[in-house]
């Protein structure tokens, strides 16, 4: 084959697309990618509640929750005398302890705080053996599910274990 024939073959294979055609294809691909990302964002935002199509609730709860505390702050409240009721909020008997808390305001004038023993932060203060319960100080604090500690001036002065003992303690004061 001669050089002239080779050049003619290459000329025939040459593409006839222009720069504007290539730019339009690139813009179409970019548009499809942007639309896909927007669709994913929209689906995610609707599923998480970031975007809602219903009536918006504009009421803001501005109350600070200071009833539930961590077990590590049991002895460091600013009140001079208070109770700390410790139980696992997710266990079956939690409604009974919740009722004890609700009626404690009527039975006793002493403030009561709650500790959720089901939270990971409080797990180091839990024991299963009632004989190992220790309320002397925060470094040695060990409680079982359903324990109420009476604290005076930053020190644990007494404790009650179980529903009946807690009710007795609250009604005796």
pLDDT range class, residue 50, cuts 50, 70, 90 = confident
pLDDT range class, residue 85, cuts 50, 70, 90 = very high
The domain segmentation of the chain, as residue ranges, is 17-55, 68-172
The predicted model gives 111-135 an average pLDDT of 89
pTM of the model: 0.61
The predicted model gives 81-109 an average pLDDT of 85
Domain 68-172 in CATH 3.40.30.10: yes
pLDDT score of 126 more than 70: yes
Which of 116, 152, 153, 156 has the alpha carbon at shortest distance from 138? 156
Long-range own/partner contacts, residues 7-13 (CB < 8 A, 24 or more apart): none
pLDDT score for 1: 54
pLDDT score of 55 more than 70: no
Structure tokens at 134: 């220790």
Distances (CA, A) of 123 to 89, 115, 135: 13, 11, 15
**What is the distance between the alpha carbons of residues 137 and 157, in angstroms, rounded to a whole number?**
10
pLDDT range class, residue 35, cuts 50, 70, 90 = very high
């Amino acid at each position: 084959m001669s050089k002239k024939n080779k050049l003619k073959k290459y000329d025939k294979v040459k593409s006839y697309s222009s720069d504007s055609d290539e730019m339009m294809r690139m813009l179409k691909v970019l548009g499809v990618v942007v639309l896909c990302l927007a669709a994913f964002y929209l689906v995610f935002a609707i599923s998480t509640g970031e975007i809602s199509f219903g009536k918006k609730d504009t009421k803001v709860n501005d109350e600070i929750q200071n009833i539930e505390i961590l077990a590590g702050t049991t002895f460091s409240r600013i009140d001079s005398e208070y109770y700390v009721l410790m139980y696992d909020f997710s266990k079956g008997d939690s409604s009974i302890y919740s009722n004890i808390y609700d009626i404690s305001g009527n039975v006793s004038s002493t403030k009561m705080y709650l500790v959720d023993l089901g939270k990971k932060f409080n797990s180091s203060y839990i024991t299963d053996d009632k004989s190992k319960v220790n309320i002397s100080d925060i470094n040695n604090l060990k409680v079982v599910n359903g324990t109420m500690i009476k604290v005076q001036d930053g020190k644990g002065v007494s404790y009650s274990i179980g529903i009946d003992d807690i009710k007795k303690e609250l009604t005796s004061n």
